[in-house]
């Protein structure tokens, strides 16, 4: 009797404040996109350890008319090419273009983007991990049934940690940055089971 081949394990990454430097004025052009030190190395390490990397990001700049879809694609292209040039791979990007008041199911903390990724790639969410720098990211992981959540202190992470602790909803792990998170995640995903 043949057993079903297990799907590759997935690391969901928020973008701004995790992969690249965030800005209160939003990232509106490719020249405003700047990798956080260590993030390229982290994605390379995920790739080398057989983990799929999928970016899950709110991009309300679209509905706010600050950036066109074509301009956003150029920013994403810079990110993907930068990752590839450094030995990593981003499998896919799922983004929500809506503003908070649009009441969609895809804007984090809602789990719609992760559910879209699961449907497209048959992902075992219980064996996956979400990395973010916000309360919304951690809540999204929880709402989607993602196995583990990691909060990085880059971006908005320090303030988010205080809120999460006050709410008694701490993440499974707190990391200094994405590369620090990668060390923990690789150990968790490749040498143990989340179940």
pLDDT at 194 over 60: no
Angle between helices 69-85 and 39-48 (to 10 degrees): 70
Cα separation, 131 vs 15, in Å, equals 9
- CB-CB contact of 137 with 108 (8 Å): yes
* Tokens standing for residue 178: 């994405």
Give the tens place of pLDDT for each residue, 39-90: 999 999 999 999 999 999 999 999 999 999 999 999 999 999 999 999 999 9
H/E run at residue 175: strand 173-175
User: For 20-35, what is the mean pLDDT?
Assistant: 96
pLDDT band, residue 192 (cuts 50/70/90): low
Residue 14 CB partners (closer than 8 Å, separation 6+): 55, 56, 57, 108, 130, 131, 132, 133, 134, 137
pLDDT in the model for residue 193: 52
Give the residues across from 172 on adjacent strands.
Answer: none
Sheet with strand 92-96: strands edge to edge: 92-96, 52-58, 10-13, 129-132, 148-152, 173-175
The CATH number, out of the four listed (3.40.640.10, 3.90.1150.10, 3.50.30.10, 3.40.50.1000), of the domain defined by the range 11-191: 3.40.50.1000
At 150-171, the pLDDT tens digits run 999 999 999 999 999 999 999 9
User: Predicted confidence band at 8 (pLDDT cuts at 50, 70, 90)?
Assistant: confident
Within the chain, what is the greatest distance between any pair of CA atoms? 57
pLDDT tens readout for residues 88-104: 999 999 999 999 999 99
Q: Does the structure show a pLDDT above 80 at 129?
A: yes
pLDDT at 195 over 50: no
Per-residue model confidence (pLDDT) at position 155: 97
The residues that are catalytic are 14, 16
Under the banding of pLDDT at 50, 70 and 90, the label for residue 3 is very low
Domain ranges of the chain: 11-191
What percentage of the chain carries pLDDT values higher than 90? 90
pLDDT of 32 over the 80 cut: yes
pLDDT at site 188: 83
């Amino acid at each position: 009797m043949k057993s079903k081949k297990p799907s590759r394990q997935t690391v969901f990454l928020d973008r701004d404040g995790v992969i690249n430097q965030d800005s209160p004025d939003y990232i509106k052009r490719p020249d405003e996109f700047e990798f956080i030190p260590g993030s390229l190395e982290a994605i390379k390490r995920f790739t080398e350890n057989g983990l799929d990397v999928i970016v899950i990001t709110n991009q309300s700049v679209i509905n706010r008319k600050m950036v066109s879809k074509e301009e956003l694609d150029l920013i994403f292209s810079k990110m993907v090419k930068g990752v590839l040039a450094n030995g990593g791979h981003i499998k896919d990007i799922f983004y929500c273009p809506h503003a908070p008041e649009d009441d969609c199911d895809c804007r984090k903390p809602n789990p719609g983007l992760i559910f879209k990724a699961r449907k497209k790639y048959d992902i075992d969410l219980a064996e996956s991990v979400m990395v973010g720098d916000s309360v919304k990211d951690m809540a999204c992981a929880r709402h989607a049934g993602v196995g583990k959540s990691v909060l990085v202190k880059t971006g908005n992470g320090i303030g988010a940690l205080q809120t999460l602790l006050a709410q008694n909803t701490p993440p499974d792990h707190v990391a200094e940055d994405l590369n620090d998170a990668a060390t923990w995640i690789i150990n968790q995903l490749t040498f143990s089971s989340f179940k």
